[in-house]
Protein backbone atom coordinates (compact mmCIF):
# COMPACT_ATOMS: atom_id res chain seq x y z
CA UNK A 1 0.00 0.00 0.00
CA UNK A 2 1.01 3.64 -0.32
CA UNK A 3 3.15 4.72 2.58
CA UNK A 4 5.88 7.08 3.69
CA UNK A 5 8.38 5.67 6.17
CA UNK A 6 10.34 8.26 8.12
CA UNK A 7 13.64 7.92 9.91
CA UNK A 8 13.78 7.66 13.66
CA UNK A 9 14.01 9.95 16.62
CA UNK A 10 16.93 12.39 16.75
CA UNK A 11 18.63 13.94 19.75
CA UNK A 12 20.92 16.79 18.71
CA UNK A 13 23.11 19.46 20.26
CA UNK A 14 22.45 23.17 19.70
CA UNK A 15 24.31 24.41 16.65
CA UNK A 16 24.43 21.01 14.96
CA UNK A 17 22.45 19.66 11.99
CA UNK A 18 20.20 16.68 11.43
CA UNK A 19 19.03 15.05 8.22
CA UNK A 20 15.63 13.36 8.23
CA UNK A 21 14.54 10.89 5.59
CA UNK A 22 11.17 9.92 4.14
CA UNK A 23 11.07 6.75 2.02
CA UNK A 24 8.08 6.30 -0.27
CA UNK A 25 6.60 3.00 -1.35
CA UNK A 26 3.51 1.73 -3.13
CA UNK A 27 3.34 4.42 -5.81
CA UNK A 28 5.39 6.14 -8.49
CA UNK A 29 7.60 8.44 -6.43
CA UNK A 30 8.19 11.10 -9.07
CA UNK A 31 4.50 11.70 -9.71
CA UNK A 32 3.93 13.56 -6.46
CA UNK A 33 5.56 16.37 -4.54
CA UNK A 34 6.72 15.69 -0.99
CA UNK A 35 5.91 18.29 1.65
CA UNK A 36 7.36 18.70 5.12
CA UNK A 37 5.44 19.90 8.17
CA UNK A 38 6.57 20.81 11.69
CA UNK A 39 4.38 20.19 14.72
CA UNK A 40 4.89 21.61 18.16
CA UNK A 41 2.56 22.02 21.11
CA UNK A 42 3.04 25.76 21.09
CA UNK A 43 2.97 26.63 17.39
CA UNK A 44 0.77 23.81 16.11
CA UNK A 45 1.29 22.63 12.53
CA UNK A 46 3.57 24.68 10.29
CA UNK A 47 4.35 24.13 6.64
CA UNK A 48 8.07 24.02 5.97
CA UNK A 49 8.08 23.53 2.22
CA UNK A 50 7.87 21.04 -0.58
CA UNK A 51 10.00 19.46 -3.26
CA UNK A 52 9.23 18.41 -6.80
CA UNK A 53 10.45 14.81 -6.72
CA UNK A 54 10.99 14.74 -10.49
CA UNK A 55 12.99 17.95 -10.94
CA UNK A 56 14.24 18.59 -7.41
CA UNK A 57 12.73 22.08 -7.48
CA UNK A 58 11.82 23.42 -4.06
CA UNK A 59 9.37 25.83 -2.46
CA UNK A 60 10.01 27.03 1.09
CA UNK A 61 7.90 28.82 3.64
CA UNK A 62 9.78 32.10 4.23
CA UNK A 63 10.02 31.25 7.92
CA UNK A 64 12.11 28.16 7.19
CA UNK A 65 14.44 29.51 4.53
CA UNK A 66 17.96 29.00 5.75
CA UNK A 67 16.79 26.49 8.35
CA UNK A 68 15.56 23.61 6.18
CA UNK A 69 17.04 22.17 3.00
CA UNK A 70 14.97 19.71 1.01
CA UNK A 71 16.50 17.17 -1.33
CA UNK A 72 15.46 13.96 -3.02
CA UNK A 73 17.06 10.74 -4.23
CA UNK A 74 14.91 9.34 -7.02
CA UNK A 75 16.89 6.09 -7.16
CA UNK A 76 15.75 5.15 -3.67
CA UNK A 77 12.38 6.98 -3.70
CA UNK A 78 13.50 8.95 -0.67
CA UNK A 79 13.09 12.59 0.27
CA UNK A 80 15.34 14.28 2.79
CA UNK A 81 15.15 17.35 4.97
CA UNK A 82 18.26 18.78 6.59
CA UNK A 83 17.78 21.14 9.52
CA UNK A 84 20.80 23.28 10.30
CA UNK A 85 22.03 25.49 13.14
CA UNK A 86 19.66 23.78 15.50
CA UNK A 87 18.22 25.58 18.53
CA UNK A 88 15.74 24.36 21.16
CA UNK A 89 12.98 26.01 19.07
CA UNK A 90 13.61 23.35 16.42
CA UNK A 91 12.52 20.62 18.83
CA UNK A 92 9.37 19.21 17.26
CA UNK A 93 7.82 16.32 15.43
CA UNK A 94 8.46 16.59 11.70
CA UNK A 95 6.20 14.95 9.14
CA UNK A 96 6.60 14.34 5.44
CA UNK A 97 3.46 14.13 3.32
CA UNK A 98 2.43 13.21 -0.21
CA UNK A 99 -0.19 15.75 -1.08
CA UNK A 100 -2.83 15.94 1.63
CA UNK A 101 -3.67 12.25 1.74
CA UNK A 102 -0.57 10.33 2.84
CA UNK A 103 1.59 11.32 5.80
CA UNK A 104 4.63 9.68 7.30
CA UNK A 105 4.55 8.56 10.91
CA UNK A 106 6.57 11.55 12.06
CA UNK A 107 10.11 11.95 13.38
CA UNK A 108 10.81 13.54 16.73
CA UNK A 109 13.75 15.94 16.96
CA UNK A 110 14.95 17.09 20.36
CA UNK A 111 17.60 19.80 20.57
CA UNK A 112 19.28 19.94 23.94
CA UNK A 113 22.74 20.41 25.36
CA UNK B 1 -0.14 33.85 4.69
CA UNK B 2 -3.73 32.76 4.98
CA UNK B 3 -4.79 32.42 8.61
CA UNK B 4 -7.04 29.51 9.57
CA UNK B 5 -9.16 29.88 12.71
CA UNK B 6 -10.92 26.94 14.28
CA UNK B 7 -13.70 27.03 16.83
CA UNK B 8 -14.25 25.92 19.45
CA UNK B 9 -10.79 24.98 20.68
CA UNK B 10 -12.29 22.41 23.05
CA UNK B 11 -15.55 20.56 22.64
CA UNK B 12 -17.15 18.13 25.09
CA UNK B 13 -19.94 15.92 23.78
CA UNK B 14 -21.68 12.65 24.54
CA UNK B 15 -21.70 9.43 22.56
CA UNK B 16 -24.39 9.68 19.91
CA UNK B 17 -24.34 13.49 19.75
CA UNK B 18 -24.18 15.39 16.49
CA UNK B 19 -21.00 17.44 16.63
CA UNK B 20 -20.04 20.46 14.52
CA UNK B 21 -16.54 21.88 14.21
CA UNK B 22 -15.85 25.17 12.48
CA UNK B 23 -12.99 26.57 10.44
CA UNK B 24 -12.64 30.04 8.93
CA UNK B 25 -10.06 31.27 6.44
CA UNK B 26 -8.76 34.84 6.45
CA UNK B 27 -8.93 34.94 2.64
CA UNK B 28 -10.95 33.15 -0.01
CA UNK B 29 -9.79 29.58 -0.47
CA UNK B 30 -12.90 28.36 -2.30
CA UNK B 31 -12.87 24.58 -1.71
CA UNK B 32 -9.15 24.03 -1.10
CA UNK B 33 -9.65 22.73 2.42
CA UNK B 34 -8.87 19.49 4.19
CA UNK B 35 -9.88 18.12 7.58
CA UNK B 36 -7.65 15.83 9.62
CA UNK B 37 -8.07 13.76 12.75
CA UNK B 38 -5.08 13.35 15.01
CA UNK B 39 -4.96 10.98 17.96
CA UNK B 40 -2.29 11.20 20.62
CA UNK B 41 1.09 10.04 19.35
CA UNK B 42 -0.13 9.52 15.78
CA UNK B 43 0.19 11.39 12.51
CA UNK B 44 -2.77 13.40 11.24
CA UNK B 45 -5.19 11.29 9.23
CA UNK B 46 -7.07 12.81 6.31
CA UNK B 47 -10.85 12.74 6.68
CA UNK B 48 -12.13 15.20 4.07
CA UNK B 49 -10.52 17.01 1.13
CA UNK B 50 -11.80 19.65 -1.27
CA UNK B 51 -14.05 20.78 1.59
CA UNK B 52 -16.62 18.01 1.16
CA UNK B 53 -15.01 14.98 -0.53
CA UNK B 54 -14.72 11.83 1.56
CA UNK B 55 -11.37 10.14 1.94
CA UNK B 56 -11.61 6.40 1.26
CA UNK B 57 -12.10 4.29 4.36
CA UNK B 58 -13.37 7.10 6.57
CA UNK B 59 -16.65 6.34 8.40
CA UNK B 60 -19.70 7.91 6.79
CA UNK B 61 -20.58 9.74 10.01
CA UNK B 62 -17.91 12.30 9.07
CA UNK B 63 -18.88 14.97 6.55
CA UNK B 64 -17.58 18.33 5.42
CA UNK B 65 -19.32 21.39 4.06
CA UNK B 66 -18.70 25.01 3.23
CA UNK B 67 -16.74 27.01 0.68
CA UNK B 68 -14.87 30.27 0.10
CA UNK B 69 -13.99 31.16 3.72
CA UNK B 70 -16.29 29.21 6.07
CA UNK B 71 -16.20 25.48 6.58
CA UNK B 72 -17.68 22.85 8.85
CA UNK B 73 -16.82 19.30 9.82
CA UNK B 74 -19.80 17.34 11.17
CA UNK B 75 -19.82 14.05 13.01
CA UNK B 76 -23.37 12.79 12.79
CA UNK B 77 -23.24 10.45 15.77
CA UNK B 78 -20.19 10.71 18.02
CA UNK B 79 -18.39 7.47 18.83
CA UNK B 80 -15.83 6.89 21.60
CA UNK B 81 -13.07 6.34 19.03
CA UNK B 82 -13.65 9.86 17.67
CA UNK B 83 -11.92 11.41 20.69
CA UNK B 84 -9.04 13.28 19.04
CA UNK B 85 -7.89 16.69 17.88
CA UNK B 86 -9.23 17.87 14.53
CA UNK B 87 -7.37 20.25 12.23
CA UNK B 88 -8.37 22.12 9.13
CA UNK B 89 -5.82 23.01 6.47
CA UNK B 90 -5.90 25.20 3.38
CA UNK B 91 -3.95 24.28 0.27
CA UNK B 92 -5.16 27.13 -1.96
CA UNK B 93 -1.74 28.74 -1.79
CA UNK B 94 1.66 27.12 -2.16
CA UNK B 95 2.28 27.56 1.56
CA UNK B 96 -0.24 25.41 3.37
CA UNK B 97 -1.56 26.74 6.67
CA UNK B 98 -3.37 24.93 9.43
CA UNK B 99 -5.94 25.83 12.04
CA UNK B 100 -5.04 25.60 15.70
CA UNK B 101 -7.23 22.53 16.18
CA UNK B 102 -10.36 21.52 18.04
CA UNK B 103 -9.87 19.00 20.82
CA UNK B 104 -12.90 16.74 21.05
CA UNK B 105 -13.54 14.91 24.30
CA UNK B 106 -16.33 12.81 25.75
CA UNK B 107 -18.61 14.36 28.28
Q: Is A85 exposed, middle or buried (0-12, 13-18, 19+ CB in 10 A)?
A: exposed
Q: What is the DSSP string of A3-39?
A: EEEE---EEE-TT--EEEEEEEESS-GGGS-EEEEEE
The CB-side HSE value for B4 (13 A sphere, CA atoms) comes to: 31
| Residue in B49, B87, B96 nearest the CB of A101 | B49
Q: What is the pLDDT of residues B25-74, one digit of tens each?
A: 999 999 999 999 999 999 999 999 999 999 999 999 999 999 999 999 99
Interface contact flag, B43 A37, Cβ < 8 Å? no
Q: What is the three-class DSSP state of B66?
A: strand
The verdict on a CB contact (< 8 Å) between A47 and B101 is no
Judge: A61–B98 Cβ closer than 8 Å, yes or no. Answer: no
Closest CB to B43 among A59, A100, A103: A103
Q: What is the pLDDT along chain A (113 residues), one digit of tens a residue?
A: 999 999 999 999 999 999 999 999 999 999 999 999 999 988 899 999 999 999 999 999 999 999 999 999 999 999 999 999 999 999 999 999 999 999 999 999 999 99
User: Residues in chain A, how many?
Assistant: 113
DSSP one-letter code for B95: S
Cis check for the bond before B8: say yes or no (omega within 30 of 0): yes
Using CB atoms within 10 A of its CB, is residue A88 exposed (0-12), middle (13-18) or buried (19+)? exposed
Judged by a CB distance cut-off of 8 A, whether residue A109 touches chain B is no
pLDDT at B92: 96
CB atoms closer than 10 angstroms to residue A84: 14
Residues B64 and B52 sit within 8 Å (Cβ to Cβ): yes
Residue-level pLDDT at A41: 87
Per-residue confidence (pLDDT) for residue A62, from 0 to 100: 95
DSSP state of B92: S
Return the residue in B96, B100, B102 with the most chain A beta carbons within 10 A, the one to mutate for interface testing.
B96
State the pLDDT at residue A42: 83
**Which long-range CB contacts under 8 A does A52-55 form with residues at least 24 apart?**
A53/A29, A53/A79, A54/A30
CB contact under 8 A, B98 and A95: no
CB < 8 Å from A in window 76-105 of B: 87, 89, 91, 94-101
Q: What is the pLDDT of residue A89?
A: 96
Tell me what pLDDT residue B43 has: 96
* Residue A74, helix vs strand vs coil: helix
Best of A2, A3, A45 to mutate (most B CBs within 10 Å, chain B): A45
- Name the percent of chain A lying above pLDDT 90: 97
* Distance between CA atoms of residues A89 and A3, nearest Å: 29
The nearest alpha carbon in chain B to A60 belongs to B95
Nearest CA in chain B to A105: B43
Which residues from A are below 8 Å from B45, CB to CB? 103
Instruction: Please give the pLDDT value at position B37.
Output: 98
Amino acid sequence: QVQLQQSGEELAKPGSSVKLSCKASGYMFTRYYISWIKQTTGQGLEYIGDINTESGGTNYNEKFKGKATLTVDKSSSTAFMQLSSLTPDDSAVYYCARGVDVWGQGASVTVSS
Amino acid sequence: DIQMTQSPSLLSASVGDRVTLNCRASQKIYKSLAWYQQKLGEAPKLLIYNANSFQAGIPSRFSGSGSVTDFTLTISSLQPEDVATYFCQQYYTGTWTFGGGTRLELK
